[in-house]
């Protein structure tokens, strides 16, 4: 295994740590205490996990250490981190009216289902599944991380609804790009 793969595995391990801390903070807020130390730990764990996404990709490309295991684990780790954060921050309040709207969580889940469903269809039809990262998908991932960080940090007095709406636009755009790429692969 390569160092990049170990870093990806670290991200996978940080997902449940973030989840537990995030839920504990939400519970402390509901109890009227709002233990800020737990919130900062949750945000820190999320930030470290998000940064490992940049680091493992950099290492894999820089030292030409791309592996099949890394290619499988990396998107799984990304999806688990983002989905866990978005779901928790939409179910649990992190402040008075301070959460991610549930419609946004549904949009994130539908996008992932469309993409993974498209990959399954291509694979089922014996097409070579060629995943071509597009700038809209990269922007979407970055904005998802910003939305979660915005909600978790709570240092900007504007509601999480603002980054959520901007990210939603990119979610829809990136989904259409992925569908278009899938259709092009079917026609080849």
Query: Does the pLDDT of residue 129 top 80, yes or no?
Result: no
Contact 129, 119 (CB under 8 A): yes
Contact 109, 50 (CB under 8 A): no
pLDDT of the residue at 128: 76
Domains in the chain, CATH or no CATH each: 3-187 (1.20.120.1760)
User: In the structure encoding, which two tokens stand for residue 123, read together?
Assistant: 């694979």
Percent of the chain at pLDDT > 70 equals: 100
- Tell me the pLDDT tens digit for each residue of 26-40: 999 888 888 999 999
pLDDT of the residue at 64: 83
pLDDT of the residue at 25: 94
Distance CA 57, CA 49 (A): 13
Reduce the secondary structure of the chain to three states and give it as a string: CCHHHHHHHHHHHHHHHHHHHHHHHHHHHHCCCCCHHHHHHHHHHHHHHHHHHHHHHHHHHHCCCCCHHHHHHHHHHHHHHHHHHHHHHHHCCCCCCCCCCHHHHHHHHHHHHHHHHHHHHHHHCCCCCCCCCCHHHHHHHHHHHHHHHHHHHCCCCCCCHHHHHHHHHHHHHHHHHHHHHHHHHHHC
Whole-prediction pTM: 0.87
Tell me what the pLDDT averaged over the chain comes to.
88
- Tell me the pLDDT tens digit for each residue of 17-27: 999 999 999 99
Query: Does the pLDDT of residue 131 top 90, yes or no?
Result: no
Q: Is pLDDT larger for residue 49 or for residue 132?
A: 49
């Amino acid at each position: 295994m390569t160092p990049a793969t170990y870093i990806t595995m670290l991200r996978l391990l940080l997902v449940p740590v973030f989840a537990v801390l995030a839920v504990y903070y939400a519970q402390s807020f509901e109890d009227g205490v709002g233990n800020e130390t737990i919130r900062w730990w949750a945000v820190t764990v999320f930030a470290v996990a998000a940064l490992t996404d940049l680091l493992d990709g950099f290492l894999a490309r820089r030292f030409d250490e791309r592996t099949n295991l890394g290619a499988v684990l990396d998107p799984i780790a990304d999806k688990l981190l983002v989905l866990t954060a978005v779901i928790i921050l939409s179910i649990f309040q992190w402040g008075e009216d301070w959460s991610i709207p549930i419609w946004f969580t549904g949009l994130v889940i539908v996008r992932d289902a469309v993409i993974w469903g498209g990959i399954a269809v291509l694979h089922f039809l014996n097409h070579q599944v060629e995943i071509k990262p597009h700038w809209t998908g990269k922007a979407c991932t970055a904005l998802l991380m910003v939305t979660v960080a915005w909600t978790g940090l709570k240092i900007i007095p504007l509601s999480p609804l603002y980054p959520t709406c901007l990210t939603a636009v990119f979610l829809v755009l990136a989904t259409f790009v992925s569908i278009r790429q899938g259709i092009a692969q079917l026609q080849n």
